Amino acid sequence: MSHAIAVEARDIFRTFEIGDNRIEVLKGVSLEVKEGEKMFLVGPSGAGKTSLLYTLAGLEKPNAGDVMIDGKSLYRQGRVAQAKTRNTTMGYVFQNFFLMPELTALENVLVPAMIRGKRATERATELLSRVGLAERVNHLPNELSGGEQQRVAIARSLINDPKIIFADEPTGNLDTKTGGAVMDLLMELVDEKERTLLVVTHDQSLSGSGDRTVTLVDGRIVD
């Protein structure tokens, strides 16, 4: 494993305004994730895990602080440069899959490559085969089980060969057996190319399979 820092949070603060209430979700979080490291973010519901993951992934701008990706500031970039970084450097797997219902499995996997202007049908087909869906490439999401939809999402996250994969409760909508199989698959695919993986999970049994577990409580890292 490289000792270079892939992702760094620098004193991140994140607040939300709901009516007259100001809710502090992240309270000065600093964190380093090394290249090739598999890190799991755990903690009670409402601790700020998903907000931290989304902030590290360029999806939610912090109120204060910064995120460094490969040593470069993510939030000091312009919007176009930021979008390019997200598309080329990062892959995403979400709890709710976020597949486009009118697109086939193959077409869903191709979306990030199309945004990048790449023709990648062969790679997408290969990835779907790799995640056990060779016979399902032309199926729509509503013709797939939850586990199969999440496998499509994993294939989609890898289509641009990103250096960093962000996964937010990737097994949250799956039964224990299916969730375990999906997590094993994600870990295996990440290991093959020594990619960096950040996972938010409420499942303590899953978190033990990473290189490091970071616990967030009330917007702060506690260990």
Residues 107-166 pLDDT 10s:
999 999 988 888 899 999 999 999 999 999 999 999 999 999 999 999 999 999 999 999
Percentage of the residues of the chain whose pLDDT score is greater than 70: 99
- The CA distance from 158 to 161, in Å, is 5
**How confident is the model at residue 206, as a pLDDT?**
80
- Nearest Cα to 198, choosing from 6, 1, 30, 4? 6
**String of DSSP letters for 14-66:** EEEEETTEEEEEEEEEEEEEETT-EEEEE-STTSSHHHHHHHHTTSS--SEEE
Cβ-Cβ contacts under 8 Å for 126 (sequence gap 6 or more): none
Residues paired with residue 202 on neighbouring β-strands, in sequence order: none
CB 187 within 8 A of CB 208: no
pLDDT bracket for residue 2 (50, 70, 90): low
* Dihedral angle over CA of 164, 169, 171, 175, nearest 10: 180
Edge-to-edge order in the sheet of strand 220-221: 90-94, 164-168, 196-200, 38-42, 212-217, 220-221
CA-closest candidate to residue 185, choices 203, 206, 200: 206
Amino acid at 117: G
For the domain 5-97+162-221, what is the CATH superfamily, name and number? P-loop containing nucleotide triphosphate hydrolases (3.40.50.300)
Q: Which of 154, 209, 183, 202 is closest to 41 using CA atoms? A: 202
Its sign, for the CA torsion 117, 121, 122, 123, is positive
Residue labelled with tokens 């950040």: 198
pLDDT of residue 213: 94
Q: pLDDT category, 38, cuts 50, 70, 90?
A: very high
Alpha-helical regions (H) of the chain = 49-56, 79-89, 105-115, 121-130, 146-158, 176-192, 204-207
Mean pLDDT of 64-73: 94
User: What is the Cα–Cα distance from 28 to 125, expressed in whole angstroms?
Assistant: 43
Q: What does the pLDDT read at residue 58?
A: 93
Residue keyed to tokens 């995403």: 92
pLDDT by residue (tens digit) across 77-111?
888 999 999 999 999 999 899 999 999 999 999 99
